[in-house]
Every structure is written in C-alpha cells, then in structure tokens.
C-alpha cells in the first residue's frame, strides 16, 4: 500500500449503512471499482440484513450461504480482502457459553464459504446488560472483550492469517465523552482487548466533518493501537432526502500514517457512489498534495458518460452544478453555494429585487430545473431511480422560487400572492413528520429550542 508503511493497511468500503443492502450485481461492480482504484478491502456489515444483526443467532440457509460464498470468491478473484461482520450486541448474553457457540456456528459457515477475515460489531445497541452479565463482568467493555477475545482466538486457530475487527459501543469522540458504554470504556478496551484485534472508529462524530492526526493520536493512547476509520462522510442513511457526491475531504494525507486503515461507508444507493469512491481511492494513493475540489472535478468528468439520455446530452457544467447541490453533509459545492446566496438575496423584506440580480438567478435556476427534468430520460435507469425523488423535489423548489421572484419583480409587494398548482397546502411540505420537525428549532451549537414556526 503506497500510503502506509504497513502491508496490513486496510483501504476500501464497508457496506455498513441502514436500508436495503446492495444487490449481488452492485457488489460485483463495487469489487471491480475497488480493484481498479487500488483499494484492498470490502467489509460486509449491512445493518438491515436480518441475519447480520437482529437474527444473528440463526445460521444461513443453503441459498444464503451460496450468495455469500459468491461474494467471497468475487473479492478473492480481484485480490480484495472480504471481511465478514456480525453484530450480536442487541441482545447477546455475554456470559452464556451457548451464545459463544452460536457465534462460532455462524463463523464456521463463513469459514467453509472461504472467508478468512471477521469482525464483531457492538455499535448502536442498548447501553445496558442483563443482571447476570453485569455481576460477572462489571462493565460493558469487559464483557465485550471477553466474547471478542475468545472468538478471535478461535478464529485465528482456523484461519491463521485472519484479520479480526471490533467496533466499540462508543465509536466516536462525542460518544466517548458522554461515557456511552460506561466509565473507562476505552481504557478497558485498550488494556483487555487482544492486541491482535483492530478497533473501528468514526472520528470526533458519527459523521465527522474533519478527522485530524491529533484526534487519532489521542485515541491511540486509550486503545493502545492504531484505529481503523469507519468513515461515514458520504453516508446518507440518516436523511433519505439527501445524498453526497462530493469529494473525500476534511482528512489530511498525514492521517493515513496514523491509522491502521480507512474504510468508507458511503451512500446507501450504490449508483450514487461513483465520485465518493473515485476520490477516496485517489486520496489513498495520492503522493500529495491533496486538493479535494480538483479530485471532484476530475471524477465528475469520469462520471459524465453515465448520464447519457435519450435526447439532449447532459453537459459537464450542468452535472457539476447538480453535484454541488448534493455535495457533502456540512457544505454545498461552490456553485450551489453561490446560487443559494443569490436566491436568499432575492427573498426581500423591503424593496423588490433589482432586475439584473433577478435575471441572473432566474437563468441559473431555469438551467438547473430543466436539467432535473432532462434526467428523467437517463438511459441508466438504476441511476435515475436513485436520483428521482431528490431531483424532483429540487425541481419543485426551484419552480416555486422562480414564481416568487417573478411575481416580486413585476412590481407587486414582497408578500404578494404567489400560488402554484403543484404546491398545495397540507401536501407540500406536509405530513406528520414535518409537523413534528417544526416543533423544535436547532441552534447553531446543536441544542434545540421551541420553534416560532407553527
């Protein structure tokens, strides 16, 4: 691996999101993209695969085993590590020997399918143990170390080259600060978890805007090993209205030497991950310096052929503008930010906007709105289906803004009547969930206060 002194450096993708797991075909396309990008790892951990998490005690059927065996072979044929993860933390009884036997039974199936590398995940679980486990182990961390160490040593006896990964209950800095999992959780993991086991970590937050070398080195002092980053920068399972096709950013190249690996957990919709995967792979290989925007523009140019339509072609300029609208969790792309500022300036509290400013906004808005319509003609239908609801919502918002700006520019008052046949009361921004969301307003510091919006 060009970016790490250790040949054990893991770089690739974790399928670790909530929502429909990727299909076998999509995973095959992923493996090809990983190999082409010089990456080396796929971690199987789809949250909503019932037997990964909720039904972890049940063994696989013959049909399920065959599908997993196909994935293992697909990875191995491309020189990729297939890491199989199991997440028993919702209801495991840590001190019950039969529970460890059930974990071994599942791993036995995967070993027979050709899998060599494994992980146990204890993320997103209830912060409590049953009374017997609490009395026997005293802490979550000690109980989890007990089970993980036993299973890792058992696995290593059968797969001597096995990598074994562990995801802690507090898997980011904020969770650790709040003592999720109990006091001294990370210190206990550092001292009691077998040193051969890698620990997964998402950074200061679940979705971290930045991950710095000092942050990771502080963590190393607790874990007594380099963490492997499970990076949720492009994950979108927490907000189905958004996706992220911006570049891999907010991480310095020096971070590669401070961690044991980098695993990207991207958009749940596989078709939307072209740019995240391309830029992530470029980051892993980059000799420096790293310019995220440059990498983004290059990847968008590579993605453009996927946007062939039945009629008028999509231009690179239009694709970049669209991508800038769905950039990264904490920022829009440069063109989308300029567009937003123009729109905000045209929602007046006083005099009507200047005609030149309104004309500039309307021209760009029309261009973007018409692009959303044109994308309904994409020949790549899986890509369109992944985009469809989001871009149609964008199109409707643009249509409404154009109507408003046009009405105010016609000399009417800023609160002039502006109606649309497509934005009806109780249907537009309607429903029970939006009503709940309007009850509380979030402050800049992340706290909430009662909203003034009815």
Write out the two tokens for 332. 């829009």
Write out the two tokens for 443. 């402050």
pLDDT at residue 224 above 90?
yes
The answer to whether residue 124 is catalytic is yes
Flag the least confident range among 38-42, 265-269, 399-403, 407-411. 407-411
pLDDT at 318: 97
Average predicted confidence (pLDDT) for the chain: 93
Question: What's the burial of 164, exposed, middle or buried (CB within 10 Å: 0-12/13-18/19+)?
Answer: buried
Which residues contact residue 177 at a Cβ distance below 8 angstroms, ignoring those fewer than 6 apart?
none
- Banded model confidence at residue 276, pLDDT cuts 50, 70, 90: very high
pLDDT tens track for 33-82: 999 999 999 999 999 999 999 999 999 999 999 999 999 999 999 999 99
Cα(404)–Cα(347) distance, integer angstroms: 8
Within 10 angstroms of residue 88's Cβ, the number of other Cβ atoms is 24
Cα(350)–Cα(344) distance, integer angstroms: 13
- Banded model confidence at residue 6, pLDDT cuts 50, 70, 90: low
Cβ atoms 119, 84 nearer than 8 A: yes
pLDDT at 348: 66
pLDDT at 40: 97
Directed axis angle between helix 292-303 and helix 274-285, to 10°?
A: 130
pLDDT at 436: 86
Mean pLDDT of 358-379: 95
Cα(397)–Cα(332) distance, integer angstroms: 17
By DSSP bridging, strand 440-442 and strand 448-450 are: antiparallel
Domain layout of the chain by residue ranges: 10-287, 308-454
Mean pLDDT of 88-104: 97
Cβ atoms 75, 82 nearer than 8 A: yes
pLDDT at 3: 44
Cα(102)–Cα(30) distance, integer angstroms: 31
Q: Which CATH class is domain 308-454?
A: mainly alpha
By DSSP bridging, strand 117-121 and strand 164-167 are: parallel
Mean pLDDT of 241-267: 97
pLDDT tens track for 240-253: 899 999 999 999 99
Locus of tokens 């998490």: 53
3-state SS, residue 243? coil
Single out the catalytic residue among 124, 127, 133, 218. Answer: 124
CA angle 323, 283, 175 (to 5 degrees): 85
Which residues contact residue 123 at a Cβ distance below 8 angstroms, ignoring those fewer than 6 apart?
87, 89, 167, 168, 169, 171
- Banded model confidence at residue 351, pLDDT cuts 50, 70, 90: low
Within 10 angstroms of residue 292's Cβ, the number of other Cβ atoms is 17
pLDDT at 4: 46
For 408, list phi and psi in degrees, rounded to 5: -70, -35
Cα(285)–Cα(38) distance, integer angstroms: 7
Cα(388)–Cα(269) distance, integer angstroms: 12
Alpha helices in 159-232 (DSSP H): 173-177, 185-192, 213-223
Nearest to 186 by CA among 198, 196, 197, 171: 171
pLDDT at residue 2 above 80?
no
pLDDT tens track for 170-193: 999 999 999 999 999 999 999 999
Within 10 angstroms of residue 381's Cβ, the number of other Cβ atoms is 10
CATH of domain 10-287: 3.20.20.80
Residues in the chain: 454
pLDDT tens track for 293-344: 999 999 999 999 999 999 989 999 999 999 999 999 999 999 999 999 999 9
Directed axis angle between helix 355-374 and helix 334-345, to 10°?
A: 130
Q: What are the b/e assignments for 169-191, b being 16+ CB within 10 Å?
A: bbbbbebbeeebbbeebbebbbe
Write out the two tokens for 166. 């562990």
Cα(22)–Cα(128) distance, integer angstroms: 32
Mean pLDDT of 24-38: 98
DSSP string, 55-72: TTTSPPPHHHHHHHHHHH
Cα(302)–Cα(399) distance, integer angstroms: 30
pLDDT tens track for 107-159: 999 999 999 999 999 999 998 889 999 999 999 999 999 999 999 999 999 99
- Using CA atoms, how far residue 185 sits from 85, 144, 170, 179, 301, in Å, is 22, 10, 8, 7, 46
Portion of the chain with pLDDT greater than 90, in percent: 82
pLDDT at 415: 53
pLDDT at 418: 72
pLDDT at 347: 81
pLDDT at residue 14 above 50?
yes
Question: What's the burial of 215, exposed, middle or buried (CB within 10 Å: 0-12/13-18/19+)?
Answer: middle
pLDDT tens track for 407-453: 876 555 455 567 777 778 877 878 888 888 888 888 888 888 898 76
Which sign, positive or negative, has the C-alpha torsion 115, 117, 122, 124? negative
Cα(84)–Cα(112) distance, integer angstroms: 13
CA angle 387, 323, 392 (to 5 degrees): 35
CA angle 129, 130, 133 (to 5 degrees): 80
């Amino acid at each position: 691996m060009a970016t790490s002194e250790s040949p054990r450096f893991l770089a690739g993708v974790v399928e670790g999101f909530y929502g429909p797991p990727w299909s076998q075909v999509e995973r095959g396309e992923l493996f090809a993209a990983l190999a082409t990008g010089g990456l080396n790892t796929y971690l199987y951990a789809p949250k909503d695969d019932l037997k990964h998490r909720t039904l972890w005690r049940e063994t696989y059927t013959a049909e399920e085993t065959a599908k997993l065996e196909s994935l293992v072979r697909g990875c191995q044929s491309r020189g990729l590590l297939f890491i199989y993860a199991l997440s028993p933390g919702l209801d495991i009884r840590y001190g019950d020997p039969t529970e460890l036997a059930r974990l071994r039974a599942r791993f036995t199936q995967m070993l027979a399918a050709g899998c060599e590398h494994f992980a146990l995940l204890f993320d997103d679980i209830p912060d409590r143990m049953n009374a017997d486990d609490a009395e026997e182990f005293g802490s979550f961390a000690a109980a989890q170390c007990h089970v993980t160490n036993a299973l890792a040593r058992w696995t290593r006896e059968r797969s001597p080259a096995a990598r074994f990964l562990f995801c802690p209950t507090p898997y980011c800095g904020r969770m650790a600060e709040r003592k999720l999992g109990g006091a001294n959780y990370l210190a206990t993991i550092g001292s009691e978890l077998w040193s051969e086991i890698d620990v997964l970590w998402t950074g200061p937050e679940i979705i971290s805007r930045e991950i710095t070398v000092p942050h990771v080195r502080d963590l190393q002092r607790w874990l007594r090993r380099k963490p492997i980053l499970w990076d949720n920068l492009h994950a979108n399972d927490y907000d189905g209205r958004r996706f992220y096709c911006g570049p891999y950013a907010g991480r310095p190249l020096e971070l590669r030497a401070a961690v044991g690996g980098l695993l990207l957990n991207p958009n749940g919709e596989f078709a939307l991950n072209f740019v995240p995967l391309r830029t992530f792979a470029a980051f892993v290989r980059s000799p420096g310096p790293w310019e995220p925007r440059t990498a983004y523009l290059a990847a968008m140019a590579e993605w453009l052929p996927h946007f062939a339509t039945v009629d008028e072609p999509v231009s690179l300029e239009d694709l970049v503008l669209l991508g800038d609208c769905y950039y990264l969790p904490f920022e829009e792309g440069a063109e989308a930010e300029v567009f937003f500022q123009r729109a905000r300036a045209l929602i007046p509290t006083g005099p009507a906007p200047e005609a030149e400013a309104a004309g500039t906004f309307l021209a760009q808005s029309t261009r973007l709105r018409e692009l959303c319509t044109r994308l309904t003609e994409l020949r790549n239908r899986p890509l369109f289906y992944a985009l469809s609801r989001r871009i149609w919502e964008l199109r409707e918002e643009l249509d409404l803004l154009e109507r408003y700006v046009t009405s105010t520019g016609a000399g009417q008052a800023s609160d002039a009547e502006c109606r649309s046949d497509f934005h009806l009361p109780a249907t537009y921004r309607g429903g029970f969930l939006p009503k709940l969301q309007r009850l509380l307003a979030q402050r800049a510091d992340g706290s909430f206060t009662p909203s003034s919006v009815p």
